[in-house]
Chain A
Amino acid sequence: MHPVLATILKRLGLGVATLFVVSAIIFSSISLLPGDFGEAVLGQAATTETVAAFRKELGLDKPAPVRYLDWVSSVLKGDFGTSFSGRAASGVDRSRSVAELIAPRLKNTLFLAGVTAIIAVPLALLIGLTAALYRNSLYDRGVNALTLTTISMPEFFVAYILILLLSSLWPVFPSLANVDASTEFGERLRRIALPAITLTLVIVAHMMRMTRAAIINLLASPYIEMALLKGASRSEVILKHALPNAWAPIATVIAFNLAYLVVGVVVVEVVFVYPGIGQLMVDSVTARDTPVVQACALIFASTYIVLNLIADVIGIVTNPRLLHPR
């Protein structure tokens, strides 16, 4: 087997192991949350007997390790369980499966993240490379100052400014990003324009600065001087001689920012009333809807692990030392 394949498989195995550890942490930290669904739904007036009966119905009376094993084994079978909400004391069970609850929300989040990534990643690379090419020029300083400004402002602030500019003063895009399953693709794009721009402004700075730094870091290398002395132009030096050696750090920071687009955008979702997974999780935490919270946390963790794995693989396959061993 090629050593690179072996390394990748090893990373994959480690990723799975990490996921297990994370699942245990998620489970135990949710158990530590004060109060439980029974009390939250039935209210303080409920008798101890009613609460106990309700807890028993939901399986909350079993000891924690048993509940954990139950959860993990059903997740492994693809069953994320049933949401607690909708099981109010009225006696009618209107609860839905967790998968059914999460699926449309996750789709929305991934759609927003995808659109943002398609804009932000190429943009960041382009700005980063040109800034490195014309380093210390007016252009370089300009984009550096600009991206620093956008990254320094809180997301909700950026969002409200965009609403003010692009929705109130010059009404180009809607300020509400309320989409549902029936929204057409084009309309969907129009509605998520403002959240996508907000997120782009937030993440471009980080990726762009890393790209610039990774390239400039290499420019002091003897092989860059050699390339110059062989008559390479400045853009050739950057694109052909520096960039191929800079992919690993750039991929890492891109993966980090893409993960943020999935797991960290709840504030932006709230501002634009976008039905994403972040809002769902926050609502579920408030309602002590444990199965949903756990599933969301697990999805977030997997997002991080998978994206970092991809960044690692990019780092490996762009390193000839690993790809072509001696």
Chain B
Amino acid sequence: MSIEHNDVLLEMRNVHIEGFADEQWHPIIKGVDLTLKRGQVLGVIGESGAGKSTLGLAAMGFVRPGCRFTQGTVHFNGTELIALSETEKRAFWGTRIAYVAQSAAAAFNPAHRLIDQTCEATVRAGISSRDESRSDAIALYESLQLPDASNIGERYPHQVSGGQLQRVMTAMAMSSRPDLIIFDEPTTALDVTTQVEVLSAMRKIVEHYGAAAIYITHDLAVVAQMADDIKVLRYGEEVEEAETRVMLESPKEAYTRSLWSVRALEKTEEKGEDIVLSMQGIDAAYGSSKVLHNVSINLPRGKTVAVVGESGSGKSTAARVITGLLPPTAGTVQFNGEALPSGLKSRTQSQLQRIQMIYQMADTAMNPRQTVDEIIGRPLEFYLGLSGAAREQRVLELLTMIELDESFLDRYPSELSGGQKQRVCIARALAAEPDVIICDEVTSALDQIVQEGILQLLLRLQQEFGISYLFITHDIATVKAISDEIVVMYQGEVVEQGLKSDILSPPHPAYTELLLSSVPEMDPDWLSTLLKERA
């Protein structure tokens, strides 16, 4: 089908963008073309560092501070944006082209009311008066199914939830009825259950007003629900672009196929009888707010129990209770058949040694001033009393276990990639020779392919050393990949615990049903079907 020239809204040709780091310019986008027709939704997917956000912003003629266009053109509705002055570009931003950012919590100014931020661009551009704009904003809030639409705008950003904020931001983008909206990972920071609501609200309103959109994400299943076409990006270059269904059914490139490899990984479950760690009737609170209610979880030796639930369900708090960071107000933690002292300070060194923890943000969990050798060597000295050659020897062994070599010994955390950092954190936990490792969202901050590597490493270590994992995550694909048993948590209570196959197959308790059905699938009709079922 040939495209009429006036159908084309956005045409990017041979766009090159460089970023300044370490005293020199590095290419970020290396000659990408992009064509968008009026009303078309294009999904852009790729891993972190692929240049997705940079490309999305470039569609507005904008580069972040420290970046520059070096080549190429961006024609929006016939106007070449790159050549315009900042003042001229500003006439397009927030009026003809709107942007929806990843973290709504960070992208709203904490000092202003939501409705004032929603109306800011339209009022400034003189598209409508303040009063008109406010009543239009309320109408948009309503169509985005925000609760108490007529008053929610009077609130400040910290007073509403993340999912609601993300919808307010969609209303903000829509307020000027733009021709083009850039969605930059708009649901990445949300829970799956919230994500469904936000996705459907966004899709409806984009369809309703016939806006064209660029939808940026790393999640193929999400983009499948939103986009007409999908463009895959890697290292600032296009891998392939195709119509959504074609792309999902028969991706041409091996790289595209590898993007959803984690979803293919699945551990065969085994039932464990010997309980190594168990929480019994635990209540816990932060100050006066109670977070855990009568939580009981059993972890069989050498097995993996995945704890799933949305943010605020008490998953991480449970981990803090087990490690002794947060003494419970009621209940006990049993370890190898003995009750553990509730507080960290009253535990023996051997009790501390036997339970180790790995965190979500490997970045902040390591001292940036210590080398890999020091980071891994410390528990060897502290728990096992190793020194000198024995210590050296053991550090090297641990490095081999996490599939890194001795060239990493003298590196600092800042010199490692995200996946390598997490591997070093695993080695540090392993160094103490623990029975139990608590993994708190350890793969959530990583790209799909890197995630797969980490999960396979954890599985292999479990087979070799019989370590038990308490694996906290909100991602169902990860749960399938690693767990033997599953614990579902909701609002500080355990909804159910059981073997993976039992939990994942119906019938489910209501909350488990909601959680499982909210996980996006690689079927472009998934969202429509789900919404129809729920209606």
Chain B contacts with A in 449-472, Cβ cutoff 8 A: none
Choice from A231, A245, A324 contacting B124 with Cβ under 8 Å: A231
Q: Indicate whether B125 reaches chain A with its CB closer than 8 angstroms.
A: yes
The count of chain B contact residues (Cβ–Cβ below 8 Å) is 32
Inter-chain residue pair count (beta carbon < 8 A) = 75
Nearest first, the 9 closest Cβ-Cβ pairs linking A and B are A230-B94, A244-B111, A231-B94, A222-B106, A231-B93, A230-B121, A229-B99, A320-B156, A223-B109
* Pair A230/B93 contact, Cβ less than 8 Å: yes
B87 / chain A contacts, CB cutoff of 8 Å: 233
B112 / chain A contacts, CB cutoff of 8 Å: 244
A231 shortest CB reach to chain B, Å? 4
> Given that A229-B93, A231-B125 are contacting pairs, would A245 and B110 also be in contact in the complex, using a CB cutoff of 8 Å?
yes
B125 / chain A contacts, CB cutoff of 8 Å: 231
Q: Indicate whether A77 reaches chain B with its CB closer than 8 angstroms.
A: no
Q: Indicate whether B103 reaches chain A with its CB closer than 8 angstroms.
A: yes
C-alpha spacing A320/B93, complex, angstroms: 27
A241 / chain B contacts, CB cutoff of 8 Å: 109, 111
C-alpha spacing A39/B107, complex, angstroms: 69
C-alpha spacing A147/B271, complex, angstroms: 71
Q: Indicate whether B90 reaches chain A with its CB closer than 8 angstroms.
A: yes
C-alpha spacing A5/B108, complex, angstroms: 27
Q: Indicate whether A8 reaches chain B with its CB closer than 8 angstroms.
A: no
Q: Indicate whether A221 reaches chain B with its CB closer than 8 angstroms.
A: yes
> Given that A320-B156, A324-B156, A326-B159 are contacting pairs, would A222 and B101 also be in contact in the complex, using a CB cutoff of 8 Å?
yes
* Pair B99/A222 contact, Cβ less than 8 Å: no
Chain B contacts with A in 156-172, Cβ cutoff 8 A: 156, 158-159, 172
Q: Indicate whether A95 reaches chain B with its CB closer than 8 angstroms.
A: no
B64 / chain A contacts, CB cutoff of 8 Å: 225
C-alpha spacing A8/B429, complex, angstroms: 45
Residue among A222, A232, A321 facing the most chain B CB atoms (10 A cut-off): A222
Extra inter-chain contacts (5) besides given A223-B107, A226-B99, A324-B156, CB under 8 Å? A222-B103, A229-B57, A230-B120, A232-B90, A321-B156
Chain B contacts with A in 59-96, Cβ cutoff 8 A: 60, 62, 64, 87, 90-95
Grouping DSSP codes into helix (H, G, I), strand (E, B) and loop, the A interface class, with mixed when no group exceeds half, is helix
A318 / chain B contacts, CB cutoff of 8 Å: 111
* Pair A223/B106 contact, Cβ less than 8 Å: yes
Chain A 214-228 near chain B by CB (<8 Å), digits 1 or 0: 000000011101111
* Pair B109/A227 contact, Cβ less than 8 Å: yes
> Given that A229-B93, A326-B159 are contacting pairs, would A223 and B110 also be in contact in the complex, using a CB cutoff of 8 Å?
yes
Question: Hey, which bits of chain A sit against chain B, CB under 8 A?
Answer: 221-223, 225-233, 241, 244-245, 318-321, 324, 326
Chain B 486-516 near chain A by CB (<8 Å), digits 1 or 0: 0000000000000000000000000000000
A324 / chain B contacts, CB cutoff of 8 Å: 155-156, 159
Choice from A225, A231, A244, A245 contacting B101 with Cβ under 8 Å: A225
> Given that A320-B158, A324-B159 are contacting pairs, would A232 and B124 also be in contact in the complex, using a CB cutoff of 8 Å?
yes
C-alpha spacing A326/B90, complex, angstroms: 34
> Given that A222-B107, A244-B111, A318-B111 are contacting pairs, would A229 and B94 also be in contact in the complex, using a CB cutoff of 8 Å?
yes
* Pair A226/B107 contact, Cβ less than 8 Å: yes
A320 / chain B contacts, CB cutoff of 8 Å: 110-111, 156, 158
C-alpha spacing A244/B157, complex, angstroms: 14
C-alpha spacing A318/B111, complex, angstroms: 8
C-alpha spacing A257/B102, complex, angstroms: 40
A244 / chain B contacts, CB cutoff of 8 Å: 109, 111-112
Chain B 111-126 near chain A by CB (<8 Å), digits 1 or 0: 1100000001100110
> Given that A324-B159, A326-B158 are contacting pairs, would A231 and B110 also be in contact in the complex, using a CB cutoff of 8 Å?
no
B107 / chain A contacts, CB cutoff of 8 Å: 222-223, 225-226
* Pair B111/A231 contact, Cβ less than 8 Å: no
C-alpha spacing A227/B110, complex, angstroms: 12
* Pair B156/A221 contact, Cβ less than 8 Å: no
C-alpha spacing A118/B143, complex, angstroms: 51
Closest to B155 in A: A324
C-alpha spacing A75/B51, complex, angstroms: 69
A226 / chain B contacts, CB cutoff of 8 Å: 99, 101, 107-109
B99 / chain A contacts, CB cutoff of 8 Å: 226, 229-230
B91 / chain A contacts, CB cutoff of 8 Å: 231
* Pair B103/A233 contact, Cβ less than 8 Å: no
A228 / chain B contacts, CB cutoff of 8 Å: 62, 93
* Pair A321/B94 contact, Cβ less than 8 Å: no
C-alpha spacing A75/B424, complex, angstroms: 63
Chain B contacts with A in 277-332, Cβ cutoff 8 A: none
A131 shortest CB reach to chain B, Å? 17
> Given that A226-B99, A324-B156 are contacting pairs, would A231 and B90 also be in contact in the complex, using a CB cutoff of 8 Å?
yes
B164 shortest CB reach to chain A, Å? 13
* Pair B110/A321 contact, Cβ less than 8 Å: yes
* Pair B60/A232 contact, Cβ less than 8 Å: no
Closest to A321 in B: B158
A-B pairs with beta carbons under 8 Å apart, 29 shown: A222-B101, A222-B103, A223-B106, A223-B107, A223-B109, A225-B64, A225-B101, A226-B99, A226-B107, A227-B109, A227-B120, A228-B93, A229-B57, A229-B62, A229-B98, A230-B98, A231-B91, A231-B95, A233-B87, A244-B111, A245-B109, A319-B110, A320-B110, A320-B158, A321-B110, A321-B156, A324-B155, A324-B159, A326-B158
* Pair A232/B106 contact, Cβ less than 8 Å: no
C-alpha spacing A276/B447, complex, angstroms: 67
C-alpha spacing A279/B60, complex, angstroms: 63
C-alpha spacing A229/B95, complex, angstroms: 10
C-alpha spacing A319/B158, complex, angstroms: 11
